[in-house]
A = this chain, B = another copy of it.
Amino acid sequence: MAATVAAYDTAHPGDTDGLRATLAPFSPRRIRRLALLVKTEGNSDVNDYSREYGLLSARLALESHGGAALIERSTFLFSTGCEGAMTPFGYLFLDYDDDAPPRHERALVMGCARSRSLLASEVGRLPHAHIAAETVTAAMRDAGVTRDEVALAIVKTPVRSFVTEGQSAHRVTSAHAKAVGALGAGIALGEVDPSRVVEAAFDRDHSLYARRAMVFSGAELDGVEVLVLANKRGAAGELTVHSGYMADLLDAGGIRHTLEAAGCALEGGVVADPTRVAAMLLKVGVAPDGRLRGNRTTIKSSHIDMDKHVRAAVSGIVGSILGTTRSFISANTVHQAPPGGGLCACIVTQG
């Protein structure tokens, strides 16, 4: 068993040539777990269906490789938005049985889990947070790791535009759904005090936050899906995963410290050997007042969605450090970082 990750580009959201080619060498029978973490181009408007198109296309590709059984063992984490210096691409994560013996003290492992479908009345409510927590825990179990060994939990959580219950209806925004999922992940990771996770705190009490969770939401799923990345003693494979923090959007130092902690040297602010970085993931937020380093920005007051401002700006920073446009960059860190802060994680080949 060894977890690997490989990047593949997409010419458009429906393009699966890269995915098929990357997957081709791997026998479906020996794939224990598969996860796709994909950045889809598209404008993210309410009537942008590029992610759904990408998902459908990827499912058809996996199905042709390994049938419904492979789909069943797969986790799909699609996120729209490739602004700035970003390439539309995906990371293919595989937990593959290649009979290789462990060569390092610790190595990357992955675990996946999917919850039952949430009831409409649960979405955005306390049970949603608890189910998120349980699903992260299940993914840790799947990976065979403790919560202290986890470097990153990637959580996808359902969102519902309109939820009708009897006479009343509640609307669960994407931000709210992420908030609930993040608090759940924080409980599972031991970073958030469960007793403080009450509905009044959702997207409100920003003193609560996980530190190793990236949370996404999507209307295309009914349950919570989780991919956990960890370093495990005795695991085979060449990779390790490391996560760290960004104090704010401009905190290039946070990215550099994370890379250095992972064993990647930097020269003049730039990573010395970019080939060692197999994957880079970032999630960065904006302060509630939209200010940065004390100054006004238009991130929260323009015709462009704030997440796009963030992704594009971060793409420049991380791209200038790694010398590549292939990083997975996301915005909105509600309950995943202090307000205005961020987190990043890299998967690197061990030296």
Give me the interface of A with B, judged by CB distance under 8 Å.
9, 11-14, 41-43, 45-50, 52-53, 56-57, 82-88, 249-253, 256, 266, 268-270, 292-293, 295-299, 301-304, 308-310, 312-317, 319-321, 323-326
Contacts and interface: CB of A to CB of B under 8 A. Distances in A.
A318 to B, nearest CB: 8
Given A315-B313, A316-B312, A303 B47 contact: yes
A91 to B, nearest CB: 14
A6 to B, nearest CB: 15
The A contact surface, by secondary structure, is loop
B252 A320 contact: yes
Given A41-B302, A250-B323, 15 more contacts: A9-B295, A11-B296, A14-B49, A14-B53, A41-B301, A43-B302, A52-B53, A82-B297, A85-B313, A86-B297, A252-B321, A269-B270, A304-B304, A314-B316, A317-B320
B84 A293 contact: no
Contact of A301 (B47, B50, B251): B47
B47 A41 contact: yes
A43 to B, nearest CB: 4
A346 to B, nearest CB: 17
